[in-house]
Amino acid sequence: MRKRYLAPLVLSVLFFAACGGGEKKTENADSVSTHEESPAADNSMVSPSASKPVSKGETLMAQSDCKTCHKEEMKVVGPALKDIAGKYPNTPENVDKLADKVIKGGSGNWGEVAMLPHPQISKDDAKEMVSYILSIGK
């Protein structure tokens, strides 16, 4: 008994659902194709990579906590990155020495505030970050 009542009900619900779904799909397809014809898509592909290539060191710094204390142009808790770049020439010795400081922490070179150690950062990654910092403005 029950099944005989339910079957037409279920079928008609499915039918309406299918119809509704079908209509929505064609609407979406229409709006997508109109957007795709807009020339703005080209610009968004070109501008980020053309004007500002992102170095590995910059990406690593963005993923770490560096930016909470260091900004490129301005002293925050730590010295501005461009001031660090101005103080140390970009030599392998300086990159090595500063990479150690990033890992072990440092103080006394810029003032009273100390930089916390970053023991989780590998020496290679720290060197990438320092090379990026020392290349700023040069």
Which residue is associated with the tokens 């690593």?
A: 60
Among 55, 63, 68, 91, binds ligand HEC (CB under 6 A): 68
> What is the total count of residues that contact ligand HEC (CB under 6 A)?
29
Phi, psi of 88 (to 5 degrees): -115, 125
Which residue is associated with the tokens 């140390």?
A: 88
Site for ligand HEC contains 108 (CB under 6 A): yes
Which residue is associated with the tokens 């906590």?
A: 65
Angle between helices 92-104 and 123-135 (to 10 degrees): 120
Contact indicator for 100, 69 with CB cutoff of 8 Å:
no
Site for ligand HEC contains 95 (CB under 6 A): no
Task: Select 44 or 120, whichever has its Cβ closest to ligand HEC.
Answer: 120
Site for ligand HEC contains 118 (CB under 6 A): yes
Positions touching ligand HEC (CB under 6 A) are 61, 64-66, 68-70, 77-79, 84, 98, 101-102, 106-111, 113-116, 118, 121, 129-130, 133
